[in-house]
Chains A and B, each alone.
Chain A
């Protein structure tokens, strides 16, 4: 079974600053994918970034980067140059190689302030 842990229920960051959202995971699978999603108040889950367990380089997508430390089983999301529109709930999720079941963490509520 997979488990995702997000220990920060809420985070504040000032506009234009960088912020790191923590995610640790537990799995017995050797091959898996890690995802981050953003959920604004409208409810839609917006895909941000993906990291494969065998990818040697950390994933980056624009202002988003994933700090992947396989040995520590962590997959932290880094948002650079925060914008007011980044205020939302952020979920870390994992999917095993077999592809069944994307398992989500409990989320981190990010608030970007002026």
Chain B
């Protein structure tokens, strides 16, 4: 079974530039998450999708971050304009659904450095 795919793996941009990350979840997984992990911290949920609808985006900085999952499969996360504090690993994850016991599987992450 293929895992969660993410690209690009690494990205370096200057502040005020824009960047986009792509995620393809495990086939059949209805729930998709984007997490932000700053160095030395645990991951923090940015946004959660159930199929193509947003379930939770309470911690998404909506003035600069946006995400979509138009067809309920793959998803993109965009940052525009980027700030230095956005330097982090952006982890995409998926699960079958929102049941508490369903395992959430993560991709390898997209490492962003803003200079």
Contact surface of A with B, Cβ cutoff 8 Å = 4, 31-33, 35, 37, 42-47, 50, 52, 91, 93, 95-107
Let me know if B61 is at the binding interface, CB within 8 A: no
Q: Could you list 9 A-B pairs, sorted by A, with CB under 8 Å?
A: A37-B106, A43-B91, A45-B106, A97-B100, A99-B99, A100-B98, A102-B33, A104-B42, A107-B42
Give Cα distance in the complex from A105 to B37, angstroms.
12
Name the residue in A35, A103, A104 with the highest tally of chain B Cβ atoms < 10 Å from its Cβ. A104
Interface residues of B in 35-74 (CB under 8 A from A): 41-45, 48, 55-56
The complex places the Cα of A100 from the Cα of B54 at a distance, in Å, of 11
A11 and B108 alpha carbons, distance in the complex (Å): 24
A10 to B63, CA, bound (A): 36
Report B75-115 CB contacts with A as 1/0, cut-off 8 Å: 00000000000000101010001111111111111010000
Closest to B105 in A: A47
Contact indicator A101/B100 (Cβ below 8 Å): no
Contacting residues, chain A, for B41 (C-beta < 8 A): 106-107
A104 to B67, CA, bound (A): 22
How many Å from the CB of B40 to the closest CB on chain A? 8
